[in-house]
């Protein structure tokens, strides 16, 4: 499995979309902190660390739209390499099981999204310093938000992996993700629906403006179990269809 994952990462080494996606993460940070600074007189009345006030604005741009779309792009990139070079049939003819191939690609996707979250957190800190935020940086809180945002993205990645495998066209799965992410922006405000819409779940833990994110051991454990269960169910469906030759 390690060799398969390493092979997947090597395939993606020259993909420009990966670098571009990292650059795109600057947009919500700059927009969010600009909004925060422009309305600082309003935010100043809140007895909250300035980094968390700024995060509330940054997450408003990042968590419901930018983050799920970039995660979906990563999933599409992983299969684009195979479809672009007509390698899919060659790969399927190797002794490696389809299940192992599918799982290795999924693990590659979640590692890329985790890396994205790390870069986003570091970028937020650097840009925040440039904007003149002087409060102590709440590193444990930000790490908690980013980590559970990643956990919340696991169902989304599972669904997008299946869609990216099913559709050869790189843009088709991205268009689906874009439309459903925009829809998820509105669904995330509906208490019951936001937990069943894969393109909205990550917002639950990353948006601290309304619900203060997910805090406490029991809520965090429940959220993690739910996301992992969702992820496993979708991946089992994807692997079975891949094994049956329904997705080629």
Per-residue pLDDT tens over the stretch 25-36: 899 999 999 998
The reply to whether 248 falls in a domain is: no
The pLDDT, as a whole number, for residue 113 is 94
| Alpha-carbon gap, residue 186 to 191, rounded angstroms | 11
Count of domains observed in the chain = 1
In a domain, 219, yes or no: yes
> Using an 8 Å Cβ cutoff, are 163 and 173 in contact?
yes
**Residues contacting 240, CB < 8 A, separation 6+:** none
Residue 64 belongs to a domain: yes
For the entire predicted model, the pTM comes to: 0.89
| Highest-confidence segment of 52-66, 79-93, 225-239 | 225-239
How would you classify residue 102: left for phi > 0, otherwise alpha for psi between -120 and 50, otherwise beta? Answer: alpha
Residue 58: enclosing H or E segment and its boundaries?
helix 50-61
Residue 49 domain flag: yes
Q: Over the stretch 2-50, which tens digit does the pLDDT of each residue have? A: 787 887 777 777 777 778 888 888 999 999 999 988 888 787 777 788 8
The tokens of 192 are what? 């019951």
**Domain enclosing residue 76, as ranges:** 2-243
Which pLDDT score, from 0 to 100, does residue 97 have?
A: 80
Note whether 57 and 127 are within 8 A (CB): no
User: Is residue 157 one of the residues assigned to a domain?
Assistant: yes
User: Has residue 57 been placed in a domain?
Assistant: yes
The number of C-alpha atoms within 13 Å of 161 and in the hemisphere containing its C-beta is: 27
In a domain, 151, yes or no: yes
Closest CA to 10 of 83, 102, 81: 81
- Positive or negative torsion for Cα 143, 146, 151, 154: negative
Q: What is the pLDDT of residues 117-170, one digit of tens each?
A: 999 999 999 999 998 888 999 999 999 999 999 999 999 999 999 988 888 777
- 136 in any annotated domain: yes
């Amino acid at each position: 499995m390690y060799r398969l994952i390493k092979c997947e990462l090597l395939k993606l080494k020259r993909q420009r979309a990966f670098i571009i996606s990292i650059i795109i993460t600057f947009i919500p940070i700059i927009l969010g902190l600009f909004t925060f600074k422009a309305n600082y007189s309003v935010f100043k009345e809140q007895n909250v660390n300035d980094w968390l006030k700024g995060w509330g604005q940054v997450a408003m741009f990042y968590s419901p739209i930018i983050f799920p779309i970039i995660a979906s792009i990563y999933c599409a990139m992983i299969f684009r390499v195979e479809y672009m070079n007509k390698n899919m049939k060659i790969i399927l003819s190797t002794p490696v099981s389809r299940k192992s191939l599918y799982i290795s690609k999924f693990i590659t996707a979640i590692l890329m999204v985790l890396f994205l979250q790390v870069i986003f957190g570091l970028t937020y800190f650097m840009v925040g310093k440039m904007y003149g935020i002087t409060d102590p940086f709440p590193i444990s809180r930000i790490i908690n938000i980013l980590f559970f945002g990643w956990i919340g993205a696991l169902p989304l990645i599972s669904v997008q992996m299946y869609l990216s495998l099913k559709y050869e066209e790189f843009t088709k799965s991205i268009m689906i993700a874009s439309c459903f992410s925009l829809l998820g922006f509105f669904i995330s405000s509906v208490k019951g629906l936001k937990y069943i819409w894969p393109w909205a779940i990550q917002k639950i833990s990353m948006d601290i403006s309304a619900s203060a994110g997910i805090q406490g051991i029991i809520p965090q454990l429940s959220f993690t179990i739910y996301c992992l269960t969702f992820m496993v169910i979708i991946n089992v469906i994807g692997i079975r269809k891949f094994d049956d030759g329904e997705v080629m």
